[in-house]
Amino acid sequence: MKKKNIYTNILAILRLYPWSIPVIVSLGTLSSFFEGIGISLFIPLLQSLDGSSLTTGNNSFLVGVLNHIFVNVSPNNRLIIIAISIVASISIKNLLIYGNSILFAWFNSRIGHDLRSRIFHQLLSISYSFLEGNESGKLMNTLASETWRTGQALSAFVSLIINCCTISVFTILLLLLSWQLTVLVAILMALISITIQLVTRRVKYLGQQAVESNSALANRMWEGLAGMKVIRAFGREDYEQERFDRASKNVRYTFFKLDALSASVNPISEVLSAILLVCILVITLLQDRTSLPRLLTFIFILYRLQPQVKQLDAAKVNLIALSSAVDDVISLLDDSDKPYIRSGNIHFQKLKQGIYFESVSFAYNATEKPAVQDISIVIPQGKTTAIVGPSGAGKSTIIGLICRFYNLEIGEIYVDDYPLKELNLHDWRNQIAIVSQDVHMFSTTVWENIAYGRLGVTEAEVIEAAKLANAHQFISELPQGYDTKVGDRGVRLSGGQRQRIALARAIVRNPEILILDEATNALDSISEHLIQEALNTLSDNRTVIVIAHRLATIEQADKIIVLNAGRVIEQGKLPDLLKLNGLFAQLYNLQHRNAHI
C-alpha cells in the first residue's frame, strides 16, 4: 500500500466519528475566545486603577470597544464590575476546556478500542496465507503498541487543531490592538518555527526506526516465550538473553533519541520567544510611554500565545514522529492489497454426496512450486478417507483447502452439487471439526477448552465427550478437575493429554465432517487403541478424513489416497494398494518391518 500523508491517514480514522472534530474545534475556539476577552479586559481595568479616563489612549479598535462597554458604569463600581467580568470570562474558558478534555478523553478511548477491534477483526477475516507470510511479533506489536501510539497521534492532531484555533483568536485580538506590532511578531515567530523544524528534521526517520525496533523486540518476546522449551533444551539461555538485550537496547536508544529531539522544541521555543517579548516591550515603551495599559495587554496576550505556538510546533513534531505508527495501523487495516476468504450465500446444513476436487492446483506463494498439482479426488460422504504420503506431499494443503483457509485459483472444489466458495463460510466450517498434531490449548480451564467445540454445550455433554476421548480419568485427577487451568498453550499438560482434550473438543462439536491430522501421534499405544475404538464408533455415518504417518491406524479406512510431490499417484482400499506394490506398499512394508525389529 502506498503510504499517505499523516494528516490524510488521521482524517480517515476520524471519519468513524464525523461529528467529533467540529465539536472539539468549536469548544476549543470558544475557550480561546473567552480567554482573550478576559485578558483584554485588563486594559480598562488598568486604566481604572490609575484613574485614567476610558476615552484616553483610544488609538485602537479593541480599546475603543472595551472602553465603550464600561464608559457608562459609575467609576465607584467600574473596578469591581470589570474584575468580576474577568473572573467570569476565565471561569467560562476553563469550564469549556474541562468539557473539551472530558469529551476528547472519551473520544480517544473509543477510537483506541475501535482500532484494536477492527485490527483483530481483520486478523480473523484475512486469508491464512497473509498470517503465515508475516511475523507474529510484528502483528502483535501493531495490535498492542502501534494502535496505542496512533491514539497519541490523534491527541497530537486534535491538539494541533485547537492550537490553531487559539492562535487565530489571539492573533485577531493582537491585530485589533496593534496591527503593526502583530505583523512584526508574526514574522519573528515564523522564523522561530522554521528554526525548530530545522532542528527536528530527523524526527520522521527516528519515528520509522521506533516502529521497526518495537516490532523486532515484540518478535523476540514472542519467539522467546513460544520457544522456551527448545531454548532450555539446547542450553541457549545466554544466547537468547543477548539477542533480547540487543533488541531492547535498540528500542531504548531509538526512543531516547526521539524523546531528546522532541524535548528540544520547548527550550528553543521559550528562549527565542522570551527574547522576542523583551525586544517588543523595550522598543514600544521607548516610543510611547502613555500606551502602557494597551502594551501590557498586548504582551500578556502574546505571552499566552507563545505557549500555543510552542505546542503547535511540538504537536507537528510529535505527529511526524508517530506517522510511522499510523502508517502501520492503516496499512494493516487496508483491505485493498490483502487476500480474503469471502463467504458465499448458499446455506449448508448436511453433506449428502461428498467433496470433489476437480483439477485443483495451489501454491502458497506465486514464486514457489505448487503444493498440490492437478488434484482430482472424491471424498465420499459417510466414509473414512485416509490421505497418506511422505512429508511435503501436500496432505495438510488439502485439509487447508477443504477448510477454506486459502483462496483457490486453479481448479474447483465442490460440496455435493455446489462450488465450495459459494457456500456460507460459517455454515460450512460449523460442520467441521479438526484434531491435529499441533494442538492449541487456550489459557483457560479444561472445561472451557472442551466446550469451545460447541458454545452452549451442557456439562454432561462435555464429560461424555471426555470419556469418549479417554480423557475423563486424567482430568478428574487434576487439582480442580475440569476447572483446572491448563496454562499458556496448555503448558501444564502433557502432549498426549492435550491431544485427548482436543479430541474431546471435536467430539462435543458433533461435526458432519471430522478431520484427524496426525491426531494420535502423541499418544501411547494403550491410549491410541482406546481412542481408535472411540473414533470407530464416532465415525459411523460421519465423513472422516484422516492424515496419518502411522499407516497401521488407517487400515480400516474405506478409501486411501496416496500423495507424492503434490500429486495423486495411487488411491483405493488397503488390499488394492498393497497389490500395486507402489509407494504405499513400500511405506507400509517399511513401517511393519521396523515395528518388528
Digit-coded pLDDT (tens) for 432-471: 988 887 778 888 888 998 998 888 889 899 999 888 888 8
Yes or no: say if 154 and 148 are a contact pair by the CB < 8 Å rule: no
Digit-coded pLDDT (tens) for 247-265: 888 888 888 887 777 777 7
Specify the higher pLDDT residue, 298 or 387.
387
pLDDT at residue 2 above 50? no
The torsion angle over the Cα atoms of residues 315, 270, 305 and 18, rounded to 10 degrees, is 10
CA atoms within 13 A on the CB side of 465: 28
Specify the higher pLDDT residue, 245 or 56.
245
Q: How confident is the model at residue 82 (pLDDT cuts 50, 70, 90)?
A: confident
The pLDDT of residue 1 is 45
Specify the higher pLDDT residue, 115 or 67.
115
The pLDDT of residue 305 is 76
Span of 284-293, 465-474, 529-538, 549-558 with lowest mean pLDDT = 284-293
Yes or no: say if 176 and 60 are a contact pair by the CB < 8 Å rule: yes
Overall average pLDDT of the 529-556 stretch? 75
The pLDDT of residue 56 is 47
Digit-coded pLDDT (tens) for 120-164: 888 888 888 888 778 777 888 888 888 888 888 888 888 888 888
The per-residue b/e assignment along 192-215, b for 16 or more CB within 10 angstroms, e otherwise, is bbeebeeebeebbebbbbbbbbbb
Strand pairing category for 372-380 and 354-362: antiparallel
The pLDDT of residue 58 is 46
The pLDDT of residue 530 is 64
Q: Which of 179-193, 418-432, 546-560 has the largest mean confidence?
A: 418-432
CA atoms within 13 A on the CB side of 366: 1
597: how many CB neighbours lie within 10 A of its CB? Answer: 4
pLDDT at residue 181 above 80? no
CA 496 to chain centre: 34
pLDDT at residue 404 above 80? yes
The pLDDT of residue 334 is 85
Residue 337: is it exposed, middle or buried by C-beta count within 10 angstroms (0-12/13-18/19+)?
A: exposed
Q: How confident is the model at residue 357 (pLDDT cuts 50, 70, 90)?
A: very high
Q: How far apart are CA 161 and CA 534, in angstroms?
A: 67
Digit-coded pLDDT (tens) for 564-590: 988 999 898 888 888 888 888 888 787
Span of 348-362, 378-392, 482-496 with lowest mean pLDDT = 482-496
Yes or no: say if 301 and 42 are a contact pair by the CB < 8 Å rule: no
Yes or no: say if 304 and 170 are a contact pair by the CB < 8 Å rule: yes
Specify the higher pLDDT residue, 207 or 435.
435
The pLDDT of residue 361 is 93
Specify the higher pLDDT residue, 376 or 81.
376
Quote the cell numbers at residue 526: 494403550
The per-residue b/e assignment along 19-54, b for 16 or more CB within 10 angstroms, e otherwise, is ebbeebbebbbbbbbbbbbbbbbbbbbbbbeeeeeb
Q: How far apart are CA 143 and CA 171, in angstroms?
A: 42
The pLDDT of residue 340 is 83
pLDDT at residue 233 above 70? no
